[in-house]
């Protein structure tokens, strides 16, 4: 199976968001990745419900919403109603993680778990029973353009060994350069969130870059 390539729209040119989405869609991306930040769980504000609604109008491709917010249980419905197909929550920000993952599935969306660099796999093991996607943060969440945290590779390897047992896809978010994509694909990662390390701000067409990353 080819790797899933997921552009992080927080890195797109928001002056021309619709044009960016159309160009990325035509370039052959797989999933549009929307980073939702509340300024509390992470020290930044980014996208919101209206952005997701606007993106939904421009593409039929799947949209994921990565909720980097406190108490996401009360907010997941907003983003599913706006058109999200996949919703990631953080176990570090949610008291009843299993209940919220089940609610996402009950709403007809795919349930995702995003794991910070300092959260061990053992801490989330029971939660994997309800995950369609597991996303390893290979940088600290909040900002684009950070350096890859090398010890997260061990976590990717550990989760890759659990994919078949639990039936989830293993995703990577953070500093996904071509070299990182090549390396982590080799140990079992299924997909990658693409930001400034591999896709945006390169002065080349999205189609050309996506073809190379394939």
35 is catalytic: yes
Rounded to whole angstroms, the Cα distance separating 206 from 115 reads 28
Angle between helical axes of 17-27 and 206-213 (0-180°, round to 10):
40
For residue 116, what is the DSSP state?
-
The catalytically annotated residue of 38, 64, 132, 173 is 173
44: Cα within 13 Å, side-chain hemisphere: 13
13 is catalytic: no
Alpha helices in the chain (DSSP H): 17-27, 49-56, 76-82, 97-106, 121-124, 152-160, 163-166, 178-186, 206-213
The catalytically annotated residue of 35, 38, 132, 190 is 35
Active site (catalytic) residues? 35, 173
């Amino acid at each position: 199976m080819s790797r899933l390539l997921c552009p992080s729209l927080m890195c797109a040119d928001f002056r021309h968001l619709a044009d960016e989405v159309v160009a990325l869609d035509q370039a052959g991306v797989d999933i549009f990745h929307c980073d939702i930040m509340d300024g509390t769980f992470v020290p930044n504000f980014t996208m919101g419900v209206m952005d997701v609604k606007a993106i939904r109008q421009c593409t039929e491709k799947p949209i994921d919403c990565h909720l980097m917010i406190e108490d996401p249980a009360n907010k997941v419905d907003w983003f599913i109603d706006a058109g999200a197909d996949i919703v990631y929550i953080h176990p570090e920000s949610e008291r009843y993680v299993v209940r919220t993952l089940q609610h996402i599935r009950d709403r007809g969306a795919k349930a995702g778990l995003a794991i910070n660099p300092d959260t061990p796999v053992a801490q989330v093991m029971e939660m994997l029973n309800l995950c369609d996607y597991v996303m390893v943060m290979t940088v600290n969440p909040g900002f684009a353009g950070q350096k890859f945290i090398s010890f997260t590779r061990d976590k990717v390897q550990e989760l890759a060994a659990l994919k078949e047992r639990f039936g989830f896809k293993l995703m990577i978010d953070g500093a996904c350069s071509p070299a990182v994509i090549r390396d982590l694909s080799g140990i079992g990662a299924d997909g990658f969130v693409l930001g400034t390390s591999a896709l945006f701000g390169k002065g080349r067409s999205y189609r050309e870059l996506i073809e190379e990353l394939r």
